[in-house]
Structure 1
Amino acid sequence: MMAFTPLEQAAIAAILDESGERRVVVEQQLTRSSVLSRKNTGGGFFAELKVDSSASRLNEGTIPFGENIYFGIYGLQYGLGMILHLKGGYVNLLEGYSVGGEDTSAIDFARIRFALIAEPGPLPTSGS
């Protein structure tokens, strides 16, 4: 199993900030999770997550997190949106999707420059 990349860590931190009252359970699950696999889909990426079975379960089941989480990404005009998916009350997938439908197949998401942004757009000049 793999550790989270800097982009994944930043996305998770931003998603936790908007999780409201469910933050405690989601944060507990994420601290007891690791990445099983990653895939650059050409339209973003998927990071499949494995949560320790001792973590508390959310009652919501499959309601995703990350409605307004965007990152400026070096080489993308509109950046990525981020969504944390759940299955059966547990986080199971972090999705980064190309907001403008741009091709991401050449991007190495583990090493890319990025910055959290308020709305879809390019990487600010002071990005990570």
Structure 2
Amino acid sequence: MSDLERAVLLAIAEQCPEHGAALRQQVSSASVAQRENTGVGFYTKLRITDEPRMEGAPSPLGGIGADVDGMTYGMGFLLWLQDGVAETLEGYTYDDETVGLELSSLRCSNVGPRMSQVR
């Protein structure tokens, strides 16, 4: 996984303390099954080999944002679950494009609760 993907997933785990331990364990075993660049964001399909389920967790989990190198307004993120297991990380831009970006090498800073409005 990219540094961005891992940082966002761990931030989501911090945001959801009742499911955080299970999500952190899933993240520790996660790899990328597939990435799709939509032009205004991306979908990263995850392969999880250690599956302590997040019983009762809503899907999606999210509310996380990050400043991403090369983007004016950063990105927001949602984590989609299937039966309590992390399945797909969705990243979406606020006003930038992801066309031509190498998703696996995106770098970020200031990962945390999503911005309430475009700066």
TM score, norm. by length of structure 1: 0.78
Residues 31 and 47 in structure 2, CA contact (< 8 A), matched pair in contact too: yes
Name the aligned partner's letter for residue 101 of structure 2.
Answer: I
- Aligned residue type for 1:106: G
* Rounded Cα–Cα distance in structure 2 between residues aligned with 1:121 and 1:107: 21
1:1-128 equivalences under 5 Å are 4-52=1-49, 55-60=51-56, 62-67=58-63, 69-100=64-95, 102-117=96-111, 119=115
Q: Which amino acid aligns with 2:51?
A: A
**Structure 1, gaps ≥5 residues long:** 123-128
Aligned partners of 2:53, 2:108: CA distance in 1, in Å?
A: 31
**How far apart, in 2, do the equivalents of 1:27 and 1:57 lie?**
11
Contact (CA 8 Å) 1:72, 1:121: kept in 2 or not?
A: no
* Bigger Rg, structure 1 or 2: 1
> Cα deviation per residue 1:100-121 (whole Å; 9 max; x = unaligned)?
2x32112222223421255266
Higher deviation after alignment, 9-18 or 40-49 = 9-18
Query: SS where residue 110 of structure 1 aligns?
Result: helix
Root mean square deviation of aligned Cα: 2.1
Q: Give the conservation status (yes or no) of the 8 Å contact 2:6–2:27.
A: no
**Residue-pair matches, total:** 116
Bigger proportion of residues as strand: 2
- Quote the offset at 1:62 in angstroms: 4.9
% identical equivalent positions: 29
Identify the structure with the greater helix proportion: 2
Query: What are the superposed Cα offsets for residues 27-86 of structure 1, whole Å, 9 maximum, x if unpaired?
Result: 12222221101111101111101122x52222226522221x111123322111011110
Normalising by structure 2, we get a TM-score of: 0.83
CA shift for structure 1 position 89: 1.4
Which residue of structure 2 lines up, in the alignment, with residue 126 of structure 1?
none
The answer to which structure, 1 or 2, has the higher relative contact order (CA under 8 A, 6+ apart) is 2
Q: Given residue 112 of structure 1, which amino acid in structure 2 is its aligned partner? A: L
